[in-house]
Amino acid sequence: MAGAFPLAVYTAAHGLSWTYLKSAIDYAALDRCRKLLGPLPDFNAGECGYEGAVADGANVFAIRCFRAPKWDFMGRDAIYLAVSWVARSRAASVDFEALLRAPELNVPTHSPPLIFHCDAAWSPFPSAPIEGDRILFRRQEINK
């Protein structure tokens, strides 16, 4: 079953900033995402990007952080942090692995959609409710 998901992207154009639907989430809740799975990587020092899912407050977030080559207005590489989320009450039925594979969280774009559809994101076998604020999983990944 397909579902609609919000998307927020933290990246550089003329400095680092968020692109997201302002009515979909409080800025403070969204901005905490930058630190939920750890600090932003220093790609110039050889650090790797990461992905994962984390419960925080009223939401559960799917987060991918990777390098976007030649990205900013000067053609420099930049951080690309793509985030989607669901209300905690719905999170037990979401397949976060499928959500993290969605192109919207994997392919950098200077004009990300504010909402996207993910056909495989709803699990037919709901898991137990997610209790507490915690990292559900985190993986390092190769630099893109």
Could you tell me if residue 24 is left (phi over 0), alpha (psi between -120 and 50 degrees) or otherwise beta? alpha
| Residue 85 placed within a domain | yes
Residues 86 and 123: beta-carbon distance below 8 Å: no
| Residue 142 placed within a domain | no
Q: Tell me the average confidence (pLDDT) per consecutive run of 10 residues in the chain, 144 residues long.
A: 87 88 94 90 91 93 93 86 93 88 95 88 63 85 60
Determine the pLDDT at residue 13.
Answer: 77
- Give the global pTM: 0.89
Q: What is the rounded end-to-end Cα distance, in angstroms, of the chain? A: 30
Determine the pLDDT at residue 65.
Answer: 96
| Residue 133 placed within a domain | no
| Residue 11 placed within a domain | yes
Determine the pLDDT at residue 125.
Answer: 54
What's the total number of domains in the chain?
Answer: 1
Residues 129 and 53: beta-carbon distance below 8 Å: no
Its domain, for residue 86, covers: 3-126
Report residue 68 as tokens. 């976007």
